[in-house]
Structure 1
Amino acid sequence: MKKNTLSFVLSALCAVTVYADNPAFNWPQFRGPNRDDISKETGLLKEWPADGPKKLWNYTNAGSGYSGFSVVDGHLYTMGTRDGGEILICLDADKGNELWIAKLGNILDNKWGNGPRGTPTVDGDRVYTLSGTGDLVAVQAKDGKELWRTSMESLGGKRPGWGYTESVLVDGNQVVCTPGGPKGAMAALDKMTGKVVWQSDKWTDGAQYSSIVPADINGQRQYIQRSMTNIVGIAAKDGALLWEQPYPGKTAMIPTPIVKGNQVYFASGYGVGSMSFDVEPGNQIKMLYDETGATPNKVMKNHHGGVILLGDKLYGYSDGVGWTCQDFKTGQLVWSEKAKLGKGAISYADGHFYLLEEGSGNVVLIDATPNGWHEISRFKLDPQTSIRSPQGHIWTHPVISNGRMYLRDQDLIFCYAVK
């Protein structure tokens, strides 16, 4: 090999190694580092080949469930089922081989598909995860050794109809979750021991299906969460109820809250729509737009699959409207596109949205722009599972981490090169 060729190859290998191990591109929890489904990676493919980006590997033994991915330091963590129980799975993120599994508890039985729904949360040398039946387990990241466990039932919770779907939050020294119920709908546990630090005894609604978002509003650290009837801000230090805003839902409240500055935004499906308000000093609520009040807003009726705030615009799928861009401040429709792609999940990286259609498995790359739908590339997920419930779809969100895109259809996990 000529000297200049060898130098080029070595440089390229070094670049790949540095990129793959870059902690800035880790994806340690549901919806990424900031729980917003936004990746900060650059240098990704601007378009894909006709048959899609190169498939690097396909793991086939994840079992049932809709659990998403955390990807940290070359390891991929998700949940599934095996041998009559729910499990936490660790894979080599680059090669797809199984490194270890940890047992969680019984399998959630549900007509929409059995198994876990949430995403593991990685914090340092530990992984925290909540099973579909409500077992909260902490394990060592290196080998899956169990460190402690508790249950939502022991915290006074009653499992919601479709199981616990929350992806627990690790914030400082606390693991925060939403068991729901009379002891306190939200609970903070010591992340090292699992002992209860506090429960929100002034907020006792039943658990729904969204995940907590942390925020600093008016100088106060707080956790934003929703129930079927209310949106709340809970003090991070002691679980006090800081503010509560009625938000009547229907059937299920699923999408993750969005917070920017002191503006809080929620969307919901089943015809409900979106609500946004400012939390002003003194924890006073100033309504900006409201799906039930004087300024009803039906622009973003997001059932699930996520809504992303990019700049001052919101993007996601709205039932009856299609893929939608909504103004964050006013709630007004910017654009919508229903014919090009059906309902699904969304993620963002390097100027593009990655869309996964739940019914077909079509994966589409579009420009992230308020100027309308501009499709770049698409391909269809192949193969697709044979074990999915007839009532279920492909509901796991796409994850882009370290130049790779990870997708899941029940027992099948896919890794594609997108750099």
Structure 2
Amino acid sequence: MIRYAGIFLAFAFSHAAEKPVQVVVMDPLSLPLSCSCVDGVGQRRYDKLGDHLSKVLGRSINLTFEESLDLALRRIRATPDFIIGKDAMVSFDSKRLKLKVKPIAALTDRTGAVTHRGVFIVRTKDPARRLSDLSGRKVMLGPVEEAETHQAAKTALRKAQLAKSASLEVGGAIDSSALALTDGEVASAVVPEYLPPLLVGCEKLSENSVRILAKTPPVYGVRLFCTDVADNALVKRVLEEVTGLDKRKDLLIALESAKGFLKIPDQLGWLDWRGPGRRGQALTLPKQLPKALKKVWSTKLTGPAVAGPVANEKWVIIPDKNRGGKKDLFRCLDITDGSELWRLEYEADREMDYSNSPRATPVVHEGLVYLLGALGDLHCLRIETGEVVWRTNYYQEYGGKLLPWGASSPPLIVAEKLIINPGVPDSSLVALDRKTGRLIWETSGHAAAYSAFVIDKLGGRQQIVGYDSASLGGWDPVTGKRLWQHVPTEGSDFNVTTPLIYDGQLLLATENNGTRLHRFENNGTIVDKPVMANPSLAPDTCSPVIVGDRAFATAYGEMYCLDLKNNLKTVWMQEDDMFYDHSNVIGGNGRVLVWTQSGDLLLLDAGANEFSPLSRLRPFGDVKVDSMSHPAIVGNRIYLRGPNEIACLQFSGD
């Protein structure tokens, strides 16, 4: 099981005139890297997947099985097109080898999960009954590249609050700690959850000689990565095939998987303002809501419900405020039970409208999270540990005046840059190195607005698009040069809502200028006169969503559905007091989900020609909610910020 052998398999067909597709497999449960001691466990047949891909792609597939990426590269003497392996191990090796990789799909296990855990094991007769009982005792972790047995294990020990820190040792291989445990060298060993039965099957552990004391928090499991040598067409084709395996029972059995591979964007979670691409889209919206959402857990919070959470399959990060309102507080919670993994807390004491609680949704990217407070405090932290990597303050660093409603625009990730908007004359828009906080460029301009920026290709040109206090603009992401400026015709707006990209055009919706759609010239500049407009839908804070060819938003006691294929004509409008204050609107799967500030949760059919909710719930009951916080949706769960808690709620199985 443990000593991996390097194996190279090639599927060569007569049609394989093109260069073979190189795939490195590092999955420890693949048959060549595991053992056959336990029937049906650790025998994943990637050769069958290679056979399938070769036939549908019309190209030969070369599979190289190795326990590490550097060993695989030595064998094939080239950069592979794809890598399949544990997320942490592939990330660790590729970073060390300076190889650019990108996760594109996650392999489900037999339960359908895309994460896995480590387990703390002890000898069966050991007196320890909980993790805290390991106080002052020796614990052997897995290798540093094994996230579930190393970093996640440290997190679990920290959460257990041992009276005396455990003495930690690090094993050289994934079974080293288990062998050290049986030899009496340590009190507990941390191993992958799948490992104990295999060690018993391989007779490295005696049956019933050890037991599981505790589990670590979940980490990402086996994933499919593409490298920068794989062309986009090949990546797209392979992704289509591997995410369609749920219809191939034979391949699911071969891969010991419930659903095959799942596309990463569907699984990564809700990691930014309004989710992926800031578009307000959740592909897993249910067709119908149950009569009541199942509460998985809830955790008490202390500050006003302003900024929303981000979440994935492991954690939830929620901005908050301490009880006295003098400190910003960001909490990272375990998605299994809502317990706190780490927190960031710092002084932030100044009065302003709508409280001084953080407004900006956290932004997560490649292991780092960016946290912005209302007073301009920006921190970059490591997600796994909560360690501060770098920090700055907009107003101390760049000068300028604090906005009446505080710093609200979440930072924008653009490749290796972090785009922020201090809004001072010489530094209206600024690009920082996202890993170090180092200044890359700064652009002069107007004071900041409250809206979020977006990045997309418009008029054939990649550009940052967003508002300042006086106008809408586009900026070159490489140099920071302002490309164009659009000043509204009907007076200035608060500029709170987020612009939306629709079919290469820009949809805007603001309180004084209504909703309008703008096209772009071939040089990437906006055409000031809108293609179409509807002055009736004029939201001050509610950013619209698009489902199909319809736009949805609320404003001043009304909810609208507009037809983007028919000159933004109003399909329907509904008056209701619950739409008077702020609402957050999410689209996807032919549905529209509305979370109102008053605490109503509605599900609508996006294709209906009248306002007729499929479901209407009050998840927090009849209490006053007053939540401006945007929900986060990950899979079958929705995370809602209530008046004094964050709740993890579960949709129906539909």
* TM-score bracket for the superposition, by shorter chain length: 0.7 to 0.9
| Equivalent of 1:208 in 449, 467, 471 | 449
Q: Pick the structure with greater CA Rg.
A: 2
Written as runs of structure 1 = structure 2, the 5 A alignment for 1:70-85 is 70-82=310-322, 84-85=326-327
Q: CA deviation at 1:173?
A: 0.2
Q: Which residue of 1 aligns with 2:611?
A: 373
Aligned partner of residue 109 in structure 1, secondary structure: coil
> Which structure features the higher share of strand residues?
1
Q: Which residue of 2 aligns with 1:281?
A: 522
> Which structure features the higher share of helix residues?
2
Aligned partner of residue 527 in structure 2, secondary structure: strand
Q: Does residue 1:183 correspond to 2:421, yes or no?
A: no
Work out the CA distance in 1 between the residues paired with 2:556 and 2:405.
20
| Equivalent of 1:124 in 366, 377, 387 | 366
Q: CA deviation at 1:62?
A: 4.7
Q: Which residue of 2 aligns with 1:5?
A: none
Q: CA deviation at 1:249?
A: 5.0
Q: Determine if contact 2:518/2:526 at 8 Å carries over to the other structure.
A: yes
Q: CA deviation at 1:334?
A: 2.0
| Equivalent of 2:351 in 109, 114, 128 | 109
Q: CA deviation at 1:261?
A: 4.2
Taking structure 2 as the reference length, the TM-score comes to: 0.56
Q: Does residue 1:346 correspond to 2:585, yes or no?
A: yes
Q: Determine if contact 1:62/1:89 at 8 Å carries over to the other structure.
A: no
Work out the CA distance in 2 between the residues paired with 1:213 and 1:414.
29
| Equivalent of 2:289 in 41, 45, 48 | 48
> 1:48/1:259 Cα in 2 relative to 1: closer, same or farther (>3 Å)?
closer
> 1:39/1:298 Cα in 2 relative to 1: closer, same or farther (>3 Å)?
same
- Report the residue type matching 2:308 in the other structure: G
> 1:181/1:340 Cα in 2 relative to 1: closer, same or farther (>3 Å)?
closer
Work out the CA distance in 2 between the residues paired with 1:306 and 1:77.
22
Work out the CA distance in 2 between the residues paired with 1:229 and 1:86.
29
Between 76-85 and 281-290, the greater mean CA deviation after superposition? 281-290
> 1:184/1:370 Cα in 2 relative to 1: closer, same or farther (>3 Å)?
farther
Please give the per-residue CA displacement for 1:176-234, whole angstroms capped at 9, x wherever unaligned. 11111211311110011101111122xx1111110100011233221101123211000
Work out the CA distance in 2 between the residues paired with 1:192 and 1:357.
36
Q: Does residue 1:198 correspond to 2:441, yes or no?
A: yes
Q: Determine if contact 2:460/2:522 at 8 Å carries over to the other structure.
A: no
Q: CA deviation at 1:300?
A: 1.8
> 1:277/1:340 Cα in 2 relative to 1: closer, same or farther (>3 Å)?
same
Q: Does residue 1:231 correspond to 2:468, yes or no?
A: no
Work out the CA distance in 1 between the residues paired with 2:109 and 2:368.
30
> 1:241/1:384 Cα in 2 relative to 1: closer, same or farther (>3 Å)?
farther
Aligned partner of residue 34 in structure 1, secondary structure: helix
Between 128-137 and 17-26, the greater mean CA deviation after superposition? 17-26
Taking structure 1 as the reference length, the TM-score comes to: 0.86
Q: Aligned Cα RMSD in Å? A: 2.5
Work out the CA distance in 1 between the residues paired with 2:403 and 2:622.
29
Q: Which residue of 2 aligns with 1:356?
A: 595
| Equivalent of 2:506 in 264, 281, 289 | 264
Between 92-101 and 128-137, the greater mean CA deviation after superposition? 92-101
> 1:280/1:156 Cα in 2 relative to 1: closer, same or farther (>3 Å)?
farther
Work out the CA distance in 1 between the residues paired with 2:286 and 2:551.
23
Written as runs of structure 1 = structure 2, the 5 A alignment for 1:135-146 is 135-146=377-388
Work out the CA distance in 1 between the residues paired with 2:641 and 2:401.
29
Please give the per-residue CA displacement for 1:209-264, whole angstroms capped at 9, x wherever unaligned. 10100011233221101123211000000100111111265562211011234311
Work out the CA distance in 1 between the residues paired with 2:563 and 2:614.
23
Q: Which residue of 1 aligns with 2:275?
A: 32
Work out which structure has the larger RCO, using CA pairs closer than 8 Å and 6 or more positions apart in sequence.
Answer: 1
Please give the per-residue CA displacement for 1:12-44, whole angstroms capped at 9, x wherever unaligned. 994452399664231111111110110122xx5
| Equivalent of 1:397 in 594, 607, 630 | 630
Written as runs of structure 1 = structure 2, the 5 A alignment for 1:246-261 is 246-247=487-488, 250=492, 252-261=494-503
| Equivalent of 1:323 in 533, 536, 559 | 559
Aligned partner of residue 113 in structure 2, secondary structure: helix
| Equivalent of 2:538 in 292, 301, 313 | 301
Q: CA deviation at 1:64?
A: 2.9
Work out the CA distance in 2 between the residues paired with 1:212 and 1:368.
26
What fraction of aligned residue pairs are identical, expressed as a percent?
A: 25
- Report the residue type matching 2:402 in the other structure: R
Q: Determine if contact 1:29/1:119 at 8 Å carries over to the other structure.
A: yes
Q: Determine if contact 1:299/1:332 at 8 Å carries over to the other structure.
A: no
| Equivalent of 1:311 in 525, 533, 548 | 548
Aligned partner of residue 96 in structure 1, secondary structure: coil
Q: Which residue of 2 aligns with 1:17?
A: 113
Q: Which runs of 5+ in 2 are unaligned?
A: 1-107, 116-217, 221-261
Q: Which residue of 2 aligns with 1:336?
A: 573
> 1:297/1:140 Cα in 2 relative to 1: closer, same or farther (>3 Å)?
same
| Equivalent of 2:339 in 94, 97, 110 | 97
Between 171-180 and 331-340, the greater mean CA deviation after superposition? 331-340
Please give the per-residue CA displacement for 1:71-122, whole angstroms capped at 9, x wherever unaligned. 1342111211126310221111232111110124414532323311111101
Work out the CA distance in 1 between the residues paired with 2:610 and 2:270.
28
- Report the residue type matching 1:356 in the other structure: W
> 1:133/1:249 Cα in 2 relative to 1: closer, same or farther (>3 Å)?
farther
Work out the CA distance in 2 between the residues paired with 1:29 and 1:299.
29
Work out the CA distance in 2 between the residues paired with 1:369 and 1:107.
47
> 1:124/1:283 Cα in 2 relative to 1: closer, same or farther (>3 Å)?
closer
Work out the CA distance in 2 between the residues paired with 1:380 and 1:325.
23
Q: CA deviation at 1:132?
A: 0.5
Work out the CA distance in 2 between the residues paired with 1:138 and 1:104.
14
Q: Determine if contact 1:70/1:119 at 8 Å carries over to the other structure.
A: yes
Q: CA deviation at 1:140?
A: 0.6
Work out the CA distance in 2 between the residues paired with 1:257 and 1:318.
16
Q: CA deviation at 1:348?
A: 2.2
Q: Determine if contact 1:102/1:144 at 8 Å carries over to the other structure.
A: yes
Work out the CA distance in 1 between the residues paired with 2:492 and 2:634.
34
Q: CA deviation at 1:299?
A: 2.5
Work out the CA distance in 1 between the residues paired with 2:320 and 2:621.
18
